[in-house]
Amino acid sequence: MTARRAALAAAVVLGIAFAVVIAVRTPWVPLPDPVGGRTPVDPTAGLSEAQLNRAESFAAALRPASLISLLLGLTVSAVLGLTRAGARLVRAVARPLGGGWVWQVLLGVLALAVIGRLATLPLAAYGEVVRHRYGLSTRSWGLWLRDVAVSTAIDAGLTALGLLALVWLARRAPRTWWAWAGAGAAAFVVVGSFLWPVLIEPAFNRFQPLAEGRLRSDLLQLAEENGTPVQDVLVSDASRRTTALNAYVSGFGTTRRVVVYDTVLERLPDEQIESIVAHELGHVANDDVLTGTLMGALGAGAGVAALGWLLSSPTLLRRAGAEGPGDPRVVPLALFLITVGTLLSAPVQNGVSRHVEARADVHALDLTDDPEAFVAMQQDLAASNLSDPDPPGVWHWFFGSHPTVAQRLALAADWAELNRP
């Protein structure tokens, strides 16, 4: 078997393993049907006409820009990856430092990342204007630019290191580099899941312990009752950037903590905060992060193996102006293929995510036994976050990582019916 066929076979096998994990671990039916049938979904989710109009107006202002930004970024990546322009750029940026292959990879990734970000920056700025207009963003333009710069630097840095390892492996092991790189990518996903809360989160927000009091005690007790004790309850200074409401649980073991936005503390009653946290604790209780990490590791391995197959295509290499995977000029092509793969996998990831989120909703209802607080919390979050309770079906299928607000309220009604005394 040739090295290229071996890479394709590995991609298929790992892809099948990925599909099996999805089939086995996805909660396809998070709640049984009530005797009288499921509750009809109310597309208004009980929101007022003014709230609905505001959410729909916000979505109408933002969705086209988001879609154009996605297509523009893909187009720029295609132009640089499927023509010799990207290869020339990679060589040009490294020339002042001697033009070695290491500098070509590192500076090439940085240049490509900056070009991609600059191409979509006007649309990102427009999106920020819209968020300011609707009162969702509180960031100054200085802070917004700082966030853009930090995000770009982190993405470019991690990508550069990954591609540097890929090119180095391809130069050292021309036939089996994709296997070593796939194993490395899978390991990176696993390690990254553990390190994210202690390395990346602090780059954007500051955290401080929630003050002693009833709410802190109740949240810690809720975690104990859930069988997943946490080390701390932290407050994020989210109000520096947004008026949106949110809370989450991050980390594993000694790094596991509940994080609550300061906006949540300011605007929601304790019982609704406990409902949000109970939902997040549901992810912990069901090992959703670990399952997601496993899926990510398998997906990364399959993706790199597929990349090994594609980067051995004479046609693609000729178009990109590269001689092979060990040639640093292959970087723009690799980035384009990764972008396409990420985009194509989005509906699958989001479809699984919606079922996982629905199970966490059921867990929150079981843990708190307070459907009224759950419904009120969902409606308050929808109103504050300007969430469209009934978005277009195709948009939600592709981009929606959570059930719609309307679907979540119908689920709560079904839960109440099944748990009626």
39-82 confidence digits (pLDDT tens): 999 999 999 999 999 999 999 999 999 999 999 999 999 999 99
Q: Which pLDDT tens digit goes with each residue over 86-108?
A: 999 999 999 999 999 999 999 99
370 labelled catalytic: no
380 labelled catalytic: no
- Residue 204 tokens read as 């954007």
Rounded to an integer, what distance in angstroms lies between the CA atom of residue 273 and that of residue 279?
A: 10
Query: 397 and 347 in contact (C-beta within 8 Å)?
Result: yes
CA torsion angle 44 45 46 49 (round to 10): -30
Residue type, 245: L
Rounded to an integer, what distance in angstroms lies between the CA atom of residue 83 and that of residue 311?
A: 14
Residue 343 makes CB contacts below 8 A (sequence gap 6+) with 70, 74
In this prediction, residues 381-402 reach a mean pLDDT of 95
What is the phi/psi pair of residue 155, to 5°? -60, -45
pLDDT value of position 249: 87
Q: Which helix (H) or strand (E) holds 208?
A: strand 207-209
What is the phi/psi pair of residue 301, to 5°? -60, -45
Residue 390 makes CB contacts below 8 A (sequence gap 6+) with 41, 43, 44, 45, 404, 406
Q: Which of 327, 361, 388, 414 is catalytic?
A: 361
Rounded to an integer, what distance in angstroms lies between the CA atom of residue 230 and that of residue 235?
A: 14
Does the structure show a pLDDT above 70 at 285?
Answer: yes
Does the structure show a pLDDT above 90 at 289?
Answer: no
- The alpha-helical segments, DSSP class H, found in 173-322 are 177-199, 214-225, 262-267, 270-285, 288-310, 314-320
DSSP at 296: H
Least confident of 50-64, 129-143, 289-303: 289-303
- When pLDDT is cut at 50, 70 and 90, the band that residue 350 belongs to is very high
Q: Round the CA-based radius of gyration of the chain to a whole number and report it.
A: 23
Residues making up the annotated binding site for Zn(2+) are 279, 283, 357
- When pLDDT is cut at 50, 70 and 90, the band that residue 268 belongs to is very high
Judged on CB neighbours under 10 Å (0-12, 13-18, 19+), 199 is exposed
Residue 172 makes CB contacts below 8 A (sequence gap 6+) with none
Domains of the chain: 45-200+288-347 (no CATH), 208-278 (3.30.2010.10)
Put simply, whether the predicted model's pTM sits higher than 0.85 gets the answer yes
Does the structure show a pLDDT above 80 at 408?
Answer: yes
Average pLDDT, the chain: 94
Cα distances (Å, whole numbers) of residue 188 to 176, 254, 293, 298: 19, 20, 10, 11
What is the phi/psi pair of residue 238, to 5°? -65, -25
Query: 272 and 377 in contact (C-beta within 8 Å)?
Result: yes
pLDDT value of position 194: 73
- Residue 244 tokens read as 């949106």
The C-alpha angle 198, 203, 209, rounded to 5 degrees, equals 60
pLDDT value of position 202: 78
Does the structure show a pLDDT above 80 at 131?
Answer: yes
Residues making up the annotated binding site are 279, 283, 357
pLDDT value of position 198: 67
pLDDT value of position 189: 87
- Long-range Cβ contact pairs of 196-199 (< 8 A, separation 24 or more): 196/250, 197/250, 197/251, 197/255, 197/257, 198/251, 198/255
Question: If you count them, how many residues does the chain have?
Answer: 421
| Nearest partner of 142 among 130, 157, 128, 152, judged by Cα | 128
Q: Which of 280, 288, 388, 414 is catalytic?
A: 280
Does the structure show a pLDDT above 80 at 233?
Answer: yes
- When pLDDT is cut at 50, 70 and 90, the band that residue 421 belongs to is confident
Does the structure show a pLDDT above 70 at 23?
Answer: yes
Query: 30 and 357 in contact (C-beta within 8 Å)?
Result: no
The percent of residues above 90 in pLDDT, for the chain, comes to: 89
- When pLDDT is cut at 50, 70 and 90, the band that residue 256 belongs to is confident
- When pLDDT is cut at 50, 70 and 90, the band that residue 1 belongs to is low
The percent of residues above 70 in pLDDT, for the chain, comes to: 98
- When pLDDT is cut at 50, 70 and 90, the band that residue 290 belongs to is confident
